Amino acid sequence: MLTRRQTVRSLAAGYGVLAGMALVIGAAVIALLIAAADLSVDDAGFFNVAEFFNVYVWRVTRFTLLQAVLSTVLSVALAIPLARALARRQTFFGRKWLLRLLAVPIGLPPIVAALGLIEIWGRNGLINTALLAGGLDNPISIYGLPGILIAHVFFNMPLATRLLLTQLDRVPSEYWRNASQLGLGQWATFRLIEWPYMRSHIAGIAGLVFMLCVTSFTLVLLLGGGPAATTIEVAIYQALRFDFDPQRAVILALLQLLLTGILLAVLASIGGAPQETPTLGQPTRRFPGRGYLAQSADFCLIILMALFLVTPLLSIAFSGLSADFKQLFSETIVWRAITTSLAIASLAAICAVTLALVLIRARYAALPLVSHNGWARWFRALAAAASSLVLLVPPIVLGAGWFVLLRNRLDVFSLAPVIVITINALMALPFVMRVLEPAHTTHMARTGRLTASLGIGGISRLLLVDWPGLRRAFLLATAFAAALSLGDLGAIALFGSQDVVTLPYLLLQRMGSYRSNDAAGLALILGLVCLILMVIADQERPRARTETAT
């Protein structure tokens, strides 16, 4: 419930933000299209399709899709039994911590996770040492497809598990009572109760994971091995930063745009990506198979998955602690990287939250007009779509567009901070919206009419009503956006230079020059900062309300 003036202002601000976003994203896309049009005609004036899609481009595309399919299948296939085991075993020691562990990869910078995974699965890692000791002489290689798959499962299996668990928690407890009364066996329970509840979300979850794997950059950059294991995003980066081949970058960027466009359309047609909703938090009384076999199978799976997730984290901690911090902190560049990272992350977080608030407010202001004005419905849909536009135009593509646009006009690298902040803010926007909008809707349902009828406005409204009501969601969104930006290597990989160095960028450099001690120390710092942010965010996560506040 807004006054007319508030409505007009909110809508105007919303239009302003939409126009700004259209400009930023549109300019990048148009720059790519113009560049492509330029190179589609060769010197002789002939359009050369073969040149356009050469072997390299095809191979990269094929690999992008292949690794995404395999990663998705593995992640979801492992998540189903794990979610089921976790739902069946409602009370075991450490269950709460295990659920928290499942949330860690979401906030963990990919570069840090990759380092941890290399330490466990790499040539000198735990697994290979064990295999060698066990008599196998052919170690697994973390580099190439296997490594990419392990890393993608590390990130996406927990996500899929959490989403599936939400679904299973939604099964009414009467179902379980009935199942045990009827004496349904494990398979029958799965087929009749658990699977139907999970099935409705499997497509959405798989779509989401597939999308994340197609646009995965950092993990593939670090674990991919040469041109045989390169995705489109990494190829764009290599074309721009190493081969100085903007033409190839343009082709690849447009290809990626096409791919994400198709994927998003498919994802939308299967009902969109599911969201994690808070459940009541009461443990459901389950009557799981008490048989020795069922129990040990469940716990074996749970323990294996916990080890899979926790070992890379522990190895980051251990090898990080053995780094020479005294030496590390005596380097100016380390301090510069820390301050640059923090500055970029806080500015990106503020931008993302501000953009989100303006869009949410505008969507809210347009809501009462929907029944009478067709444009209001369009406006609301547009604002929602715009907030997710970065899914269509991934950071690397956006960066490539701006790179191509500015390349011959300005010193691209001097603009790095602005571009990185912008890209990071846009990257965080969908997540920030997902946190803030439901909170805002609930808040307005509680207080909207009341503040309107009492005429509370301006600063008193902000301090008395909005800040207390939205603080939790606001901090959660800000912390999340900041963590996302802190750990991002995509935008900075394109625009980073000796002048603008962030922590992930410095980490990448140290890894590249085989200074693994430094890298371990930096990874620990970066991981800790992100973890602290995520813990703060988790504290503020609005829980299912039990009290009935009036």
Partner 1 sequence: MTGQQVTIDNVSIAHANVSMHFDVRFEPEKITAIIGPSGGGKSTLLNLVAGFERPDSGHVRIGSEDYTHADPADRPVSMVFQENNLFSHLDIQTNIALGIRPHLVADAGDRAMVTDALQRVGLSGFEKRMPGTLSGGERQRVAIARALVRQKPVLLLDEPFAALGPRLRSDMLDLIGQLQREMAMTVLLVTHQPEDALHIADAVVFLDDGRIVAAGAVSGFFDRLDIPGLGDYLGDRSPQTGLPAD
> Which of 131, 140, 456, 531 is close enough to bind partner 1 by CB under 8 A?
456
Q: What is the largest CA-CA distance in the chain?
A: 80
Minimum CB distance to partner 1 smaller for 6 or for 284? 6
Give the span between the Cα atoms of 463 and 519, in whole angstroms: 44
Q: How many CB atoms lie within 10 A of CB 546?
A: 8
The piece of 20-28, 322-330, 432-440, 451-459 that touches partner 1 (CB under 8 A) is 451-459
> Which of 19, 262, 454, 544 is close enough to bind partner 1 by CB under 8 A?
454
Rounded least distance, CB 444 to partner 1, Å: 11
> Which of 132, 266, 321, 450 is close enough to bind partner 1 by CB under 8 A?
450
Rounded least distance, CB 486 to partner 1, Å: 31
Residue where the block lists tokens 């040149």 = 51
> Which of 468, 539, 541, 544 is close enough to bind partner 1 by CB under 8 A?
468
475 binds partner 1 (CB under 8 A): no
* Vertex 238: Cα angle to 232 and 240 (nearest 5): 105
326 binds partner 1 (CB under 8 A): no
373 binds partner 1 (CB under 8 A): no
> Which of 9, 89, 446, 515 is close enough to bind partner 1 by CB under 8 A?
446
Minimum CB distance to partner 1 smaller for 225 or for 469? 469
Minimum CB distance to partner 1 smaller for 191 or for 449? 449
Closest CA to 1 of 463, 468, 450: 450
367 binds partner 1 (CB under 8 A): no
> Which of 61, 72, 319, 447 is close enough to bind partner 1 by CB under 8 A?
447
Minimum CB distance to partner 1 smaller for 2 or for 345? 2
φ, ψ at 41 (rounded to 5°)? -110, 120
Q: How many CB atoms lie within 10 A of CB 454?
A: 11
Give the span between the Cα atoms of 404 and 390, in whole angstroms: 18
Query: Please, which of residues 69-128 interact with partner 1 by CB under 8 A?
Result: none
DSSP letters along 396-445, please? HHHHHHHHHHHTTTS-GGGGHHHHHHHHHHHHHHHHHHHHHHHHHHHHHH
Evaluate whether 290 touches 296 at the Cβ level (below 8 Å). no
Closest CA to 193 of 184, 183, 202: 184
124 in the Ramachandran plot: left (φ > 0), alpha (ψ -120 to 50) or beta? alpha
SS3 (DSSP) at 173: helix
SS3 (DSSP) at 340: helix
544 binds partner 1 (CB under 8 A): no
Quote the tokens at residue 65.
């899709």
The piece of 397-405, 456-464, 490-498, 500-508 that touches partner 1 (CB under 8 A) is 456-464
Minimum CB distance to partner 1 smaller for 345 or for 465? 465
Minimum CB distance to partner 1 smaller for 451 or for 509? 451
470 binds partner 1 (CB under 8 A): no
Q: Which residues pair with 520 in a beta bridge?
A: none
546 binds partner 1 (CB under 8 A): no
Quote the tokens at residue 58.
């095809």
Rounded least distance, CB 376 to partner 1, Å: 14
What residues make contact with partner 1 under the rule CB under 8 A? 1, 3-4, 371-372, 445-447, 449-450, 452-457, 459-461, 463-465, 468-469, 547-550
